[in-house]
Structure 1
Amino acid sequence: MSDLSAFPVTRKWPAAFPERLQLYSLPTPNGVKVSIALEETGLPYEVHKVAFDRNDQLTPEFLSLNPNNKIPAILDPNGPGGKPLALFESGAILVYLADKTGQLMPKDVAGRYQALQWLMFQMGGIGPMFGQLGFFHKFAGKDYEDKRPRDRYVAESKRLLGVLEQHLKGRQWMLGDEYGIADIAIFPWVRNLVGFYGARDLVGFDAFPQVQRVLDAFVARPAVQRGLDIPKREG
């Protein structure tokens, strides 16, 4: 049996199955990237909910795992060389899981770098820009009388959707016929933009039929459907 006692995070979230990969997360666009990847690969894991309403992310135990106090994070008892590995940042975790399982990543070097470029496109563009739009459209920022900040992120979100729309013409997934981490990174954010954030009309989403097509195919995958509700939502 794996011994994870050296990791303070396990004192707050004890591992019932310490031989499995431990996931600390919430069902947010970044959180579900990892749960979807885990469901797609079939890698055994145990999930722990990091409750923001209790400020779990600010506890010393969680900060020992991720000093940036964000989800998701993982603790893999069977990391490189058979030693435990703690890891945060959803993009880094996706690459790690792809390398660990030999899935969700092209085998050729050129294809690998193409996957990484779209992963970074999501992390540097789609995630931050869609997230800011959500703040100014759905959350506290919606009450600002000055709509210029919101409109800035609306315009940038439309531009990013246009990049996706053009790229997806004639392609089944982001890398053509091969589904992988680029899709898992991007489409939870697209789903959140038009769903939870309620910004479909605001960004004119009907003008991006290729993005809609791939989003529909993405959410229809059984592993995606499971991963979108991990950790399970209450109520």
Structure 2
Amino acid sequence: MADLSRFPITARWPATNPDAIQLYAFPTPNGVKISIALEELALPYEAHKVTLKPEDVKSPEFLTLNPNGKIPAIIDPDGPDGQPACVFESGAILIYLAEKTGKLIGNSASERLDILQWLMFQMGGIGPMFGQLGYFYRGDGKAIDDKRPKDRYIAETRRLLSVVEQRLDGREWLCGDYSIADIATGPWLRILDMYGAREAVGWWDFPNCIAYLDRFLARPAVQVGLVTPPRD
């Protein structure tokens, strides 16, 4: 049995099965990326709910795992060289898990490169910009009288959706076979509905994105991952 006692986070969120990957997350788009990936890869894992409240993500225990105080993060008891290892940042975790298993990251160097490009597109574009849209459209930012921030992120969300729309023309998934690029992107397309922002961004103008999200949400691993760990 793996010994995870050197990780202070396990004192607050104890591991029931220390031989399984320990996932510390909340069901946000970034959080569910990892539970979906773990389900798709059939890797044993244990999910711990770490809320977005400062008492959780800014706690001394969690900061030992991610100094940036953001979910998700994992501890893999069977990390590099067979030693336990922690990984934070959702994109880094996806790459780590894909490389660990040799799955969802392509079958050649060129396929891997393509997947990593689209993963970074989500990490650097879709995630931050859609997140800002959520803040100004549904979050605290909606109380700001100046409409320019909201209008800016509505326009940028539409632009990013148009990039995905064009990429999906004649494609089922972003990079040929289903990959970590899709696992990263799908939850962020879904969040537009949860923001109540589909009408604002003209979601129905993007039929390829609509069909893509339907395919993504139909996957059994996605359905489980989206509610792991449970919100309540």
Question: Where on the TM-score scale, by shorter chain, does this alignment land: which range?
Answer: over 0.9
- Mapped partners of 2:220, 2:52: distance in 1: 27
1:169-224 Cα deviation digits (max 9, x unpaired): 00010012x0010000011001001x111110100010000000000000000000
Identify the residue that residue 125 of structure 2 maps to in structure 1.
125
Q: Distance in 2 between matches of 1:59 and 1:105?
A: 34
Provide the residue aligned with 1:165 in structure 2.
165
CA distance in structure 2 between the aligned counterparts of 1:74 and 1:33, rounded to whole angstroms: 12
Match of 1:216 among 214, 217, 220: 214
The Cα shift of 1:144 comes to: 1.0
Query: Normalization by structure 1: what TM-score?
Result: 0.97
Whole-angstrom CA distance in 2 between matches of 1:211 and 1:171: 11
Q: Equivalent residues in 2 for 1:105-124 (5 A)?
A: 105-124=105-124
What SS is found at the alignment partner of 1:52? coil
Deviation at 1:52, TM superposition (A): 2.6
Equivalence map 1:4-83=2 (5 Å): 4-53=4-53, 55-83=55-83
Partner of 2:188: 189
TM-score normalised to structure 2 length: 0.98
Amino acid at match of 1:211: C
Q: One-letter code of the match for 2:153?
A: Y
CA–CA separation in structure 2 for the residues paired with 1:85 and 1:197: 35
Residue 204 of structure 2 aligns to a residue in which SS? helix
5+ residue gaps, structure 2? none
Task: Report the Cα offset of residue 145 of structure 1.
Answer: 1.1
% identical equivalent positions: 61
Secondary structure of the 1:24 match is strand
Q: Find the aligned partners of 2:119 and 2:53 in 1 and give their Cα distance.
A: 29
CA–CA distance in 2 between the matches of 1:199 and 1:44? 36
Q: Which secondary structure state, in structure 1, belongs to the residue aligned with residue 133 of structure 2?
A: helix
Which residue in the other structure is 1:146 paired with? 146
Moved over 4 A (4+): none
Alpha-carbon separation, structure 2, partners of 1:209 and 1:116: 25
The match for 1:228 is: 226
The Cα RMSD (Å) is 0.8
| Counterparts of 1:152 and 1:130, CA distance in 2 | 11
Q: Deviations over 1:12-45 (max 9, x none)?
A: 1111100110000000000000000000000000
How far apart in 2 are the matches of 1:77 and 1:51?
Answer: 23
Q: CA deviation at 1:54?
A: 6.2
